[in-house]
């Protein structure tokens, strides 16, 4: 497929557990973004990868959140010791460096019980 894919689509976890969310960007897109959307709210920027540059981590809410990206391919967002306030839809997007449009994946709905 040509679009951004994310897995899993839904994740239910117990408070205190670690979770890993995966994003497969569109092939050839150098930029990859993670956003979080809490229920009934807009998207909050989390982290941004651009090629081989150091990622922009300015949106990560705490040190429990981290993300990695291998080259210009897959990215994983890890949340350690999950809390109930981490419950949200986590959206990934990718774009080429000069292109104006960010293409969004379908998201991973995370529920922390």
Residue 91 binding another protein, by CB under 8 A: yes
* Binding piece for another protein, criterion CB under 8 A, among 20-28, 61-69, 70-78, 100-108: 100-108
Classify 49 in phi/psi space as left (phi over 0), alpha (psi -120 to 50) or beta: beta
* Binding piece for another protein, criterion CB under 8 A, among 11-19, 42-50, 63-71, 74-82: 42-50
| Backbone φ and ψ of 23, nearest 5° | -135, 130
Smallest CA-to-CA distance from 113 within 89, 84, 91, 71 is with 84
Binding residues vs another protein (CB under 8 A):
30-31, 33, 35, 41-45, 48, 50, 56, 59, 91, 93, 95-102, 104-107
């Amino acid at each position: 497929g040509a679009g951004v894919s994310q897995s899993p689509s839904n994740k239910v976890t117990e408070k205190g557990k670690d979770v890993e969310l995966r994003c497969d960007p569109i092939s050839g897109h150098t930029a990859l973004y993670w956003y979080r959307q809490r229920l009934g709210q807009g998207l909050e920027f989390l982290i941004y990868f651009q090629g081989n540059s150091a990622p922009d981590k300015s949106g990560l809410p705490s040190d429990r959140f981290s993300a990695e990206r291998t080259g210009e391919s897959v990215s994983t967002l890890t949340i350690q010791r999950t809390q109930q306030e981490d419950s949200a839809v986590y959206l990934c997007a990718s774009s080429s460096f000069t292109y104006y449009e960010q293409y969004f994946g379908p998201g991973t709905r995370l529920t922390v019980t």
